[in-house]
Amino acid sequence: MSSVPSQHFLSLPRPDIVVGPPTGVPDTSTTAAHDFDIHGRTGFMPPDEPTQQLPIEYAVWECLLEEAIALPLQRGTKEDITDDEVVANERWRAQVREMPVLSHELLVGSEHLLRRGHHTLAFLLHFYVNSLPPTTPIAIPRSLALPMLRVSEDLQLPPVLTYSDNVLYNWRLTEEPAQETANAHARSRSDDYNPFGLVPADEDAFFLSAADDNPFGLVSSDPIEPGSPLPSSSSTSVPRLPTPSTVTSIHTFSGTHSEVVFYLASQRTELLGARALSLMQSTLDELFLSDALAFRRITRYLSLLSDVIADMSGAIQGVRDGCDPREFYEEIRPWFHGQQPGREWVWELSDEERETIEISKDLKGPSAGQSALIHALDVFLGLDNCAHRERKEGSADEKNDPGALLRDMQKYMPRHHRAFLRHLSASPRPLRDAVEARVETVRLAHDTSDEEKKDAEELLDAYNDAVSAVKAMRDAHIRIVATYIIGPAARARERAQAREEGRVEGAASRVDTTAQENGKLRGTGGTDLVRFLKGVRDQTARAVIAGEKR
């Protein structure tokens, strides 16, 4: 392949070129497939099952996690918690305090083990913190604090439960019918498989297998010759990729089916999003050419992207099929809470350790806002830049700006995914600008043909349809939040008020107040939930390019 110009998207520097990888973590920046830890068929979800067991040296972590789930441990804010449950909670926490302080050195050098370490320790951390009585100061014992901080430091993640712990790296494959397995292999390996009917600019544009023509570093399985027999299902050379119908969770806090369904809705959304990432890549390839044929292809890709986003929206709403709203709000969601206002986490460390370990003061819990997939759609469509443009300098409170809050969520993402978003943001030819420029050029040209005018109108319509699809997805998310958080929160307030008035028996001190601050409903990510979601939704709606641009 001939060299590309210095300003081409493919010529941009690698994401870690300045800071490099953290100490002890292998440098994968020269391997295109690993630059952003994205797979062509599974997107931000790893193509292989996450590690489900740490080395034997860390058995105490695994055993304490299994014990917490098996008890099951109870929330400290549980309204009707019994004395026996309080004692069982404290007995388990005592075991955590008494366990040996283990070095994480055996995990260093393996991204898979570090991820499993963070997942395990984060679950232990949230079990420990959120099983405490609501008035008890939070002191995290050194046996848990030190390894959690060290592992988080190596992964460049905050020492708290994240979306990646709950969703991206918390799944295993389930059994599937033999025919479905064969079909999945055929789809993932066949050169002829093209679910979108795309006509890429070159043969590698869609299948994402050539590093030189692959700005995202996506990879797909090696192709097989059409008509060749499929390898047997037992063949180790044919990895079984996760699909929306073949994944389930490894761990839950509550042991409920509702929690499995809650994670599954996000996991299915992520897997469907792999198609969106493929379409983004094909679009960026065409933007490099930016001729009439390229823009016709972009129109087609954007139309397909709208369909994919609609599928993602459907997956999000799939949480209704099996996740009970009351169960979610009362038995699942409280385990996600990170550091809450007025209840600072105290990490028990030696003086020397405090000097060498930087501890974030902002430790939000997991949130859908930490999904790199949703951010990628915003960046690709230019929705994040629209938010900057509409905010006048110094006129908006950065703390309450939905765009700023979304950007803050990125520090909770795996570092490779953050790098991808930076790389995508650095594209020298942003899609939104290109669409506006193309439509305006055709409008102002004196010798424009009817066909060119029609193409420009269809391009603008396709872009606006994609923006509208994102807006519709956010509308669906707001409806889910209304069902699973806003409604149950209102009923919880009514019960608390009834207790205070003596109309209902029970201890009002057990009511969970961590979800609210100054009367405002807080998300597990720490945001003013209603204001944040509506703000992001409204910004998206305003990103539609007005018809006058034609």
Judge whether 366 lies within some domain: no
Asked if 487 and 299 count as a contact pair (C-beta separation under 8 A), the reply is no
Judge whether 203 lies within some domain: no
Confidence check: pLDDT of 16 > 80: no
- Tens digit of pLDDT for each residue in 272-323? 999 999 999 999 999 999 999 999 999 999 999 999 999 999 999 999 999 9
Model confidence at 13, pLDDT cuts 50, 70, 90, reads very low
- Tens digit of pLDDT for each residue in 114-155? 999 999 999 999 999 999 999 999 999 999 999 999 999 999
- Tens digit of pLDDT for each residue in 71-94? 999 999 998 899 999 999 999 999
3-state SS string for 37-103 = CCECCCECCCCCCCCCCCCHHHHHHHHHHHHHHHCCCCCCCCCCCCHHHHHHHHHHHHHHHHCCCCC
Looking at per-residue pLDDT, the higher value among 454 and 509 belongs to 454
Say if residue 477 carries a ligand binding annotation.
Answer: yes
Judge whether 201 lies within some domain: no
Judge whether 34 lies within some domain: no
Asked if 159 and 361 count as a contact pair (C-beta separation under 8 A), the reply is no
CATH number reported for the structural domain that contains residue 522 in this entry: 1.20.58.480
- Tens digit of pLDDT for each residue in 342-388? 889 999 999 999 999 988 888 999 999 899 999 999 999 998 765 44
- Return the pLDDT at 541: 64
Judge whether 267 lies within some domain: yes
Judge whether 83 lies within some domain: no
- Tens digit of pLDDT for each residue in 225-254? 333 343 343 444 567 899 999 999 999 999
First to last CA, the chain: 37
Percent of the chain predicted with pLDDT > 70:
70
Confidence check: pLDDT of 23 > 50: no
Judge whether 517 lies within some domain: yes
Count Cβ neighbours within 10 Å for each residue of 2-25 and write b for 16 or more, e otherwise. Answer: eeeeeeebbebebbbeeeeeeeeb
Model confidence at 528, pLDDT cuts 50, 70, 90, reads low
Model confidence at 20, pLDDT cuts 50, 70, 90, reads very low
Tokens of 545: 């390019």
4 Rama sector, left if φ>0, alpha if ψ -120 to 50, beta otherwise: beta
49 Rama sector, left if φ>0, alpha if ψ -120 to 50, beta otherwise: beta
Number of domains in the chain: 1
- Tens digit of pLDDT for each residue in 154-184? 999 999 999 999 999 999 999 764 444 444 4
Burial class (CB within 10 angstroms; exposed 0-12, middle 13-18, buried 19+) of 195: exposed
Tokens of 395: 């006129």
Judge whether 416 lies within some domain: yes
Confidence check: pLDDT of 490 > 90: no
As a whole number of angstroms, the distance between CA 203 and CA 212 comes to 12
Model confidence at 35, pLDDT cuts 50, 70, 90, reads confident
Confidence check: pLDDT of 210 > 90: no
Q: Cα dihedral sign for 16, 18, 19, 25? A: positive
The neighbouring-strand residues paired with 190 are 224
Q: Domain of residue 479: give its range.
A: 254-328+374-549
3-state DSSP call for residue 466? Answer: helix
As a whole number of angstroms, the distance between CA 196 and CA 265 comes to 23
- Tens digit of pLDDT for each residue in 412-442? 999 999 999 999 999 889 999 999 999 999 8
